[in-house]
Each structure stands twice: as C-alpha cells, then as structure tokens.
C-alpha cells in the first residue's frame, strides 16, 4: 500500500487539490454545498493521482537512471509496471466519472484535458526539448480552473487570472529543481534547460523573468475586485521576496541559490492562497 501511495505523489497531489479548492472558493455563489466540495476535491485528487502513477509508469526507465528517483516503486522493482499502469488508469477513470456525474461535465472535461496534456504532450517532450517546461506549465495551471468550473459550471476572467498566477509560478519553481538535479536529468536524457545550457545563465534568466512577471499578475485579483487591500500588500511582499531569490541566483548560479528559489516558491503559493481566502471581496 505504501508503494501504491508513493505512485500518487501525495505532496504534488496535495498542491493540486489546494489550488483546485481556491478556484472553487472564487467560483462559488450562494449556499455552500459540502457534497459538491467533497466530490470536486476527491475527484480531482483521483485524476491527479492517476496521472502521477501513469507518469511514473511511462518514465520508469528514465527514473532508473536518476539518483533522486531510483528508489521509486517501479525503478526499484517493488511494483510491476502492469500494476502501476492498471492502478493509474483506474484512478483516472474513477476521478473523471466522479467529477462528471457528481459535479459537472465541464469540470470532468478539464480534468481529462489536463491528464492528456501532461501524459501525451509534456512527458514525451521532456526527452526532446527544454521547451517541455513551458508546455508542462499549461496542465500545471489547470487546477484553479477545474475548481472554478466545479463551482460555477463556467470559466470567467477570475478563473483565468488564478490559472495565470499558477502558470507563471511554476517556471522559477521547476527551473530551480532542474538546476539542482541537472546531472540526474542529463543521465536520463531529459532535455531540461540546465542540461542543454550547462552554464546556468539562461536558467537563471528564465527564473528572473518569470519572477518579475509574476508580481503584476499576482496583483490582478485586487484590481478585478476579487480580493482586498490586505491581499494586495501581502502579494506584493511575497512577490518581492520571490524576486529577491531570483536575483540572487542570477548573480550566483549555485545549487544553494537554486534551493533558496525552490524554498521561496514553496512558501509563496500557500501564503498567497491564504491571503486570497482571508481577504476576499466577493463571498
């Protein structure tokens, strides 16, 4: 059971569910429905878990070559690939059906599109081009849209702003990881930017660019009437903190600085979400 749980990547799934919940929060109106909230979060968790399991099934050979992933259930041989494949398919199908039947089919469709883009577009591209990171940020930005659609059965500008924040946040986060584990990615033939351009200059530049872009986009919820002044001040402060870590890594391209960017990104998103939910304008 522990190995099957590891296939679902619980920490990533938790982030996806959290982002979905924020989208639901801003998409809902009227009386809260606990049934709808539970089905949305559980259905999304099932699809995310299935996607993670299928991703590990697809990348099992590459994972075997990387130190950071060699101990996973498939590379280590603790689970057979067929077990992971069937497990992932079952979770994805159950999650799609739960969202479609108990929430709405727009939500189910968005969940299924996320799975398709991640598994059939982003994952194969990782072996071909560093632009896969940009492609992968699209399904990575979908959770708030899924949550919003679950509550409102439509997508408005509010939903797209939440998705845009998550889209931009991913670049510093994943480029920092790519820099930290560039030797691993190189061994596995995964074409991350620090593998293609090992001096790290372009990677640091990308981190800096997206950290800058994230600041004005993260302030849009205030100007769109979604949040109040407390959120505005907090989002600006967190954005500047995030940017500071990006400036440091651009000046000193080391693993320590990249880890600081990663830590700043891990802190940034939950704090931003808490500020959104504590300081909403529309309830």
Same domain flag for 183 and 141: no
> Both 27 and 150 in a single domain?
yes
Nearest CA among 108, 90, 113 for reference residue 98: 108
Residue/partner pairs of 257-265 with CB below 8 Å, 24 or more apart: 258/176, 258/177, 258/179, 258/180, 259/176, 259/180, 261/172, 261/173, 261/175, 261/176, 261/207, 262/173, 262/176, 262/177, 262/180, 264/172, 265/169, 265/172, 265/173, 265/176
Pick from 134, 155, 176: which residue ends a domain? 155
- Give me the CATH number covering residue 52: 1.10.357.140
The C-alpha atoms of residue 221 and residue 213 are separated, in whole angstroms, by 15
Cα distance between residue 15 and residue 34, in whole Å: 20
Digit-coded pLDDT (tens) for 94-144: 999 999 999 999 999 999 999 999 999 999 999 999 999 999 999 999 999
Give the domain extent around 283. Answer: 157-283
Using the predicted structure, report yes or no on whether residue 202 has a pLDDT greater than 60: yes
> pLDDT at position 281, please?
82
CATH code (residue 163): 1.20.120
The answer for residues whose C-beta is within 8 angstroms of residue 121's C-beta and 6 or more apart is 135
Residues 175 and 227 in one domain: yes
pLDDT of 167 above 60: yes
> What stretch of H or E contains 171?
helix 157-180
- What pLDDT band is residue 282 in, cutting at 50, 70 and 90? low
The closest alpha carbon to 119, from 91, 148, 147, belongs to 91
Count of CB atoms situated within 10 Å of the CB of 31 = 5
Task: Give me Rg for the CA atoms of the chain.
Answer: 19
- Asked if 41 and 79 sit in the same domain, the reply is yes
Please state at what angle helix 10-27 crosses helix 255-278, rounded to 10 degrees: 30
1 shares its domain with 128 = yes
Structural domains in the chain (count) = 2
Domain boundary among 99, 131, 155: 155
> Residue 83 and residue 74: Cα distance in Å, rounded?
10
- Domain match, 151 and 167 both: no
pTM listed for this prediction: 0.95
Residue 47 and residue 17 share a domain: yes
* Confidence band for 30, pLDDT divided at 50, 70 and 90: confident
Whether residues 94 and 177 share a domain: the answer is no
Cβ atoms within 10 Å of 48's Cβ, excluding its own: 29
User: What's the mean pLDDT when you consider all of the chain?
Assistant: 95
Q: Answer for the pair 196, 205: CB distance below 8 angstroms, yes or no.
A: no
Q: How far apart are CA 226 and CA 271, in angstroms?
A: 16
Same domain for 43 and 19 = yes
């Amino acid at each position: 059971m522990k190995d099957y749980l590891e296939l679902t990547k619980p920490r990533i799934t938790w982030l996806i569910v959290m982002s979905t919940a924020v989208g639901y929060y801003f998409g809902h109106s009227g009386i809260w429905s606990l049934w709808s909230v539970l089905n949305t979060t559980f259905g999304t968790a099932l699809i995310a878990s299935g996607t993670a399991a299928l991703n590990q099934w697809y990348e099992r050979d590459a994972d075997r070559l990387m130190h950071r992933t060699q101990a996973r259930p498939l590379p280590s041989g603790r689970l057979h690939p067929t077990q992971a494949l069937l497990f992932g398919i079952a979770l994805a199908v159950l999650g799609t059906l739960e969202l479609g039947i108990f929430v709405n089919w727009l939500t189910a469709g968005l969940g299924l599109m996320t799975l398709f883009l991640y598994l059939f577009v982003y994952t194969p591209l990782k072996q071909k081009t560093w632009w896969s990171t940009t492609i992968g940020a699209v399904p990575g930005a979908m959770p708030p849209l899924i949550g919003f659609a679950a509550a409102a059965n439509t997508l408005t500008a509010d939903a797209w702003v939440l998705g845009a924040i998550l889209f931009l946040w991913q670049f510093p986060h994943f480029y920092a990881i790519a820099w930290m584990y560039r030797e691993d990615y190189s061994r596995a033939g995964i074409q991350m930017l620090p593998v293609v351009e090992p001096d790290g200059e372009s990677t640091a530049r990308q981190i800096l660019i997206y950290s800058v872009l994230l600041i004005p986009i993260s302030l849009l919820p205030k100007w769109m009437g979604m949040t109040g002044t407390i959120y505005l001040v907090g989002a600006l402060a967190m954005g500047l903190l995030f940017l500071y870590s990006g400036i440091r890594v651009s000046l000193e391209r080391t693993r320590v600085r990249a880890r600081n960017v990663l830590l700043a990104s891990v802190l940034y998103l939950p704090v931003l979400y808490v500020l959104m939910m504590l300081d909403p304008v529309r309830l």
